[in-house]
Amino acid sequence: MTALSAEGRNGNYPGKGIGQPVGVAVLGMGTVGTEVLRLINEFSGSLENRIGGPIDVRGVAVSDLSKKREVLEKFPDITLTDNARELIDRDDIDVVVEVIGGIDYPRELVLAALNAGKSVVTANKALIAAHADELSDAANAAGVDLYYEAAVAAAIPVVGMLRRSLAGDQVQRISGIVNGTTNFVLDAMASTGASYEEALAEATRLGYAEADPTADVEGHDAASKAAIMASMGFHSRVTYDDVHAEGITNITADDIAAAAEAGFTIKLLAICERLIDDVGNTSVSARVHPTLVPNDHPLATVDKSYNAVFVEAEAAGRLMFYGNGAGGAPTASAVLGDLVGAARNKILGGRAPAENPYAHYPVADFGDVPTRYHIDMSVVDRAGVLAEISRRFAAQDISISAVRQEESGEHSRLIVVTHQSLERKLAAIVDELRDIDEVKSINSVIRLGA
């Protein structure tokens, strides 16, 4: 990361002055972009008081100029264009709001804006997860702001909390439900007994799931957010490619029922941890996977499409942030919050606290991450099978926390819950179990822990 000069830190970022307008360009006018413009118009007076000068939306870039957009009637003097670069290069633009989505094209636009001395507000989680280092360097070199609160859990103030509120603390662990679609599906399965396919169909019908839900149900969306949270929380560079991601497509109604019987709820969690090995070396881990959450944990009660982030810090202790993690209005709220900060700095001078990955902790190999397994298998119903399986666990130095066996027709259903061990050792024992003649099938393997 490019360090700021002493002159920069001492305020070599002069402001425009109280009462001066802040020129804004909005790139993209889908659901979020439309809500941003609506809120700017509706709150214009109070926003001016908070900033010290008026927000003047001077241009909007869209892909289809022929589409009618009613909100633009409130902004009769703005430029509507399909040439975003031309808008960015204008001298009267101070702040660029990027709500297009995607990675490659938005990266070009955001870099161009930063290099041109414009502050940037973006809601683009995929872009930040992939290129935060490059974009942060560009912002630092130009002495401008890069804000992205809306990239993680929309209106829930996760980025600001990690960047500012806990700046003097040491974050140990972050675990969160950061995808509303998957939480809706899992909650529907738990509350109605529906299959995964039935719950996903209902989520699609109600508009909680996209026509192509792959990014959500396979964990990709949550992985981008995990990368951002880990980078912010541990002051180290973590990208999307560093995050181990598994989705919910293999979760069955039987898994949900077995979890409930054992006192757990299944949630798709993004988990970010600071890890210290036996000789004192620190690394960080970021992962996304279905997780058995104890019913008495606050995250277990997060239902429908809501999001929640649970943070454990050295001094602050345990904190939880809860609310709408997606949708046009909540996301626009986060964008407006960032826009107020960026615009105020343009008026008064100075910059917001920048991302600072000074720690440079390495990302741990997923196999070296400690976790626990809940293994559901079908076994031959005869004496000695449980003893043989227990012997295999002991030989791998994996301690068993609980065992439950149920009659199930020709075979028995055996559920084994382990104590904490390394991921690679637990994965290895599952592979070994598959090769035992008495084990007819491994029905599911779900990790424990919030």
* Residue 117 annotated as part of some ligand binding site: no
Reduce the DSSP state of residue 175 to 3 states and report it: strand
Polymer length in residues for the chain: 450
Are 286 and 278 contacting, i.e. CB atoms less than 8 angstroms apart?
Answer: no
* Residue 108 annotated as part of some ligand binding site: no
Please give the single-letter amino acid code of residue 423.
Answer: E
Distances (CA, A) of 434 to 213, 294, 367, 376, 386: 31, 28, 19, 12, 14
Tell me, letter by letter, the H, E, C secondary structure of 126-171.
HHHHHHHHHHHHHHHHHCCCEECHHHCCCCCCHHHHHHHHCCCCCE
* Residue 28 annotated as part of some ligand binding site: yes
* Residue 418 annotated as part of some ligand binding site: no
Q: Which helix (H) or strand (E) holds 123?
A: none
Q: Is 225 a catalytic residue?
A: yes
Name the active-site residue from 67, 68, 74, 225: 225
Distances (CA, A) of 81 to 119, 121, 144, 345, 353: 20, 19, 25, 27, 33
Are 215 and 221 contacting, i.e. CB atoms less than 8 angstroms apart?
Answer: yes
- Please, how many CA atoms are within 13 Å of residue 111, restricted to the half-sphere of its CB? 13
* Residue 214 annotated as part of some ligand binding site: no
For residue 36, give both structure tokens: 């941003």
Query: Which residues have a Cβ under 8 Å from the Cβ of 13 and sit 6 or more positions away?
Result: 143, 345, 349, 350, 351
* Residue 68 annotated as part of some ligand binding site: no
* Residue 57 annotated as part of some ligand binding site: no
Are 82 and 62 contacting, i.e. CB atoms less than 8 angstroms apart?
Answer: yes
The Cα 74–Cα 116 span in angstroms is 28
* Residue 81 annotated as part of some ligand binding site: no
> Which residue in the block uniquely carries the two structure tokens 């990709």?
220
Query: Which residues have a Cβ under 8 Å from the Cβ of 363 and sit 6 or more positions away?
Result: 236, 238, 242, 283, 284, 285, 286
Which are the catalytic amino acids?
225
Which residue numbers belong to the known binding site for L-homoserine? Answer: 210
Which residue numbers belong to the known binding site? Answer: 27-34, 125, 210
Which residue numbers belong to the known binding site for NADP(+)? Answer: 27-34
